[in-house]
Structure 1
Amino acid sequence: MNIKITGTGSYIPGTIEKNENFNSHHFLNTDGSPINSENTVIIEKFKAITGIHERRYAEEHLTSSDLGFFAAKKAISDAKINPEELDYIIVAHNFGDVKHNTLQSDLLPCLASRIKHSLRIKNPKCVAYDILFGCPGWIEGVIQAQAFIKAGMAKKCLVIGTETLSRVVDKYDRDSMIYSDGAGATVIEATEEEGGILAHETASYTYDEAYYLFFGNSNNQELCKDTRYIKMDGRKIYEFALTNVPNAMKSCLEKSGTSINDIKKILIHQANEKMDEAIIKRFYKLYKMNPPTDIMPMSIDKLGNSSVATVPTLFDLIKNNKLENHSLTKGDVIIFASVGSGMSINAIVYKY
């Protein structure tokens, strides 16, 4: 028995927010002082580091569970299964449903229950729950689905990553330009077909690193102190990722028994173009090699960082030949990898 992704789907919001749309923003330092640079300069530096020149925001009437539902419908259709056959629906997110122009997060009921309701699944034995694991949430959901199937507790699982980060950002913070909205979904099944999940690796570093990403006050000191926004220590995250993600990928690859030379693609969380490039270089350096030029597909330039949605969306795009110069052929070995709040990292070696 092998455990494979048999269906994929994604939802990419239609609202495009280009870099130039931030020209009128009033960016401030963390202490509330003005930044001594024109916005055009700030934005140009931002693009050079992150690779982002536009991102997607959810339509005003939609929430994270809506986006996840749209992606889930596509994944179920792609897998050609009856949704009533699903044993688990696992939804990775960070902030629940946040309605447009509101600040309160809504998690009652959980997003997985909402998506199951929207899918009109009657089967009560289809268990729906959420997972909070930062940006690596979708990968961790796949790892959990695999565990359920291996244990004989499930045959078919739906794993979704969905987020509307644009609704929890501080518009006075330059980092707000990184974040975006979107959803990706996958059906995971036990199958007699060759391939599937070959190995996985997960770790959480919390002793010193737990609060590298956190909820904090606006850079605008005049705003309500009780309102929180997503914040990060970018330098510490960069250094953490560069050390720990390549090591996790190497450990995972060794568990799989696969040669580094057999890796066709590495689908890494779309966090920051320069950071992702540095992670891949560091990974190959562990093998005293340089990375192949086409090893790392990127979508962050147009889609931004949608957290848990980046990896499944990237996989869906490549699988459906919607990402220029990247494709997959049956038998190709790929690595999924991510890093995010907690601080957590994970990886999967997967044979397509």
Structure 2
Amino acid sequence: MSRYARVIGTGGYLPEKVLTNAQISLMVDTSDSWIHERTGIKSRRIAADHESASSMAEIAARQAIDAAQIAPEDIDLIIVATGTPDRVYPSTGCLLQKRLGIKNGVAFDVQAACSGSIFGISIADQYIKSGAAQTVLVVGAEICSRIVDWTDRSTCVLFGDGAGAVLLQACEEAGVLSTHIHSDGEFDDLLYCPNPQAATEAGKDEAGYIAMRGNEVFKVAVNTLGRIVDETLEANAMDKASIDWLVPHQANIRIIAATAKKLKMSMEQVVVTLETQGNTSSASVLLAFNEAVRDGRIQRGQVVLLEAFGAGFTWGSALIRY
């Protein structure tokens, strides 16, 4: 009997504090119109001092658990995608496991930058198909506001904080139709965040802030996401019209629009949270997926394409029949 992974619950959490473009324009030389026209962002959420990746992950995870109507102890694998972990170790996955009161199973982190949640879904899918896990929790949780330089207008306007979660469980009918993940370390200097405590290059004295060459990243992202769309459709012998919803990584409205155009989809079929959330890195796809499930846009039986691109470079997709 074949085993497949099926989505049984979703969850999300956004911090209470809202930071608008107008407020950022008081901090750096920019404006609301400049930011919105180039990125599609109007505001983003900022975590409170007492919040962490694991505390936000717990709220999102408990929402998903409630939606799935299971007990936390039913989960036998936790995968947390984050680039802003509470600690270097133990993993944020282990900290989340403790918060949820789960004594058994396995927990670990995935670091694939903005593609992290897609990588997490892909790993979960393999665990379930192989029989190594029955119920898997995948969470993307980020506090990007703590790794951006608030004097750098090219990056501080882009990012926000939040957590998204999805629960996957083994079933006899295909839910996750396919996943596709890739990386190419050749472009490591176009988008990165240094670790000042582990600097190895002679004379290197960098703060631990995101550094990005935006124009170059944009060009690679558009071309790469176009290819992943083709790869995903070909692997499933599907045409573009078979996809009901596109849930993209929320980095830039122009990248999102280019991917939709590639699929010949109207923007009404694209889940966009960018305007009020900014780029929440590994949390963004799961936050958007959760929002569209909970407001009723995404219905059971519909085919959803999740895709993301991030530092590494990393990129990937998950085609899901919800």
TM-score tier (shorter): over 0.9
* Shift in Å, 1:225: 4.1
* Letter of the 1:200 counterpart: T
CA drift of 1:18 comes to 0.8
SS of alignment partner, residue 245 of structure 1 = helix
Q: Which runs of 5+ in 2 are unaligned?
A: 196-203
**1:108: how far off?**
2.3
- Given the alignment of the two structures, is residue 137 of structure 1 paired with residue 107 of structure 2, yes or no? no
- 1:211 maps to which residue? 189
Q: Distance in 2 between matches of 1:20 and 1:62?
A: 24
Q: 2:256 aligns to what SS in structure 1? A: helix
Aligned to 2:315: 345
| RMSD between aligned residues | 1.7
For each residue in 1:261-295, what CA deviation from the matched residue of structure 2 results, as whole angstroms up to 9, or x when unmatched?
Answer: 111110000001112112322x23xxxxx432412
Residue 57 of structure 1 is aligned with which of 46, 56, 59? 46
Counterpart residue type for residue 188 of structure 2: A
Q: How does 1:251-330 map to 2 (within 5 A)?
A: 251-281=231-261, 283-284=262-263, 290-321=264-295, 327-330=297-300
Q: How far is 1:84 from its partner?
A: 1.3
Question: Match for 1:74 among 46, 54, 63?
Answer: 63
d(CA) in 2 for partners of 1:203 and 1:134?
A: 12
Decide which of 4, 14, 33 is 1:44's aligned counterpart. 33
Deviations 1:88-143 (CA, angstroms, capped at 9, x unpaired): 1000001212xxxxxxxx222210011110111122xx101000011010111011
Compute the displacement of 1:195 (Å). 4.0
Where does structure 1 lack aligned partners over 5 or more consecutive residues? 28-38, 98-105, 218-223, 285-289
Q: Which runs of 4+ in 1 moved over 3 A?
A: none
Contact 1:241–1:279 under 8 Å retained in 2: no
Question: Match of 2:176?
Answer: 197
* Mapping 1:124-273, distance limit 5 Å: 126-174=105-153, 175-192=155-172, 194-207=173-186, 209-215=187-193, 225-273=205-253
Where does residue 10 of structure 1 map in the other structure? 12
Query: Which residue pairs with 2:198 in the alignment?
Result: none
TM-score (norm 2): 0.92
Deviation at 1:151, TM superposition (A): 1.1
Tell me which structure has the larger Cα radius of gyration. Answer: 1
What's 2:99 paired with?
Answer: 118
CA contact (8 A) 2:122 2:181 kept: no
Supply the distance in 2 between the matched residues of 1:225 and 1:26 (Cα, whole angstroms). 24
Alpha carbons 1:273, 1:300 under 8 Å: kept: yes
CA contact (8 A) 2:225 2:259 kept: yes
Please give the alpha-carbon distance, in whole angstroms, between the structure 2 residues aligned to 1:3 and 1:121: 21
Question: Structure 1 residues 250-259 or 183-192, which shifts more?
Answer: 250-259
State the AA in 2 paired with 1:111: T
Aligned to 2:201: none
For the residue of structure 2 that corresponds to 1:135, the secondary structure is helix
Q: Could you list the per-position Cα deviations for residues 145-177 of structure 1 after superposition, in whole angstroms to 9, with x for gaps in the alignment?
A: 110111111111110000000011101111211
Q: In the aligned structure 1, how far is the partner of 2:177 from the partner of 2:190? A: 31
Q: Say whether the 8 Å CA contact 2:140–2:283 is kept in structure 1.
A: yes
Counterpart CA distance in 2 for 1:179 and 1:54 is: 9
> Quick check: 2:257–2:267 contact (8 Å CA) kept in 1?
no
Aligned positions, number: 311
| TM-score, length of structure 1 as denominator length | 0.85
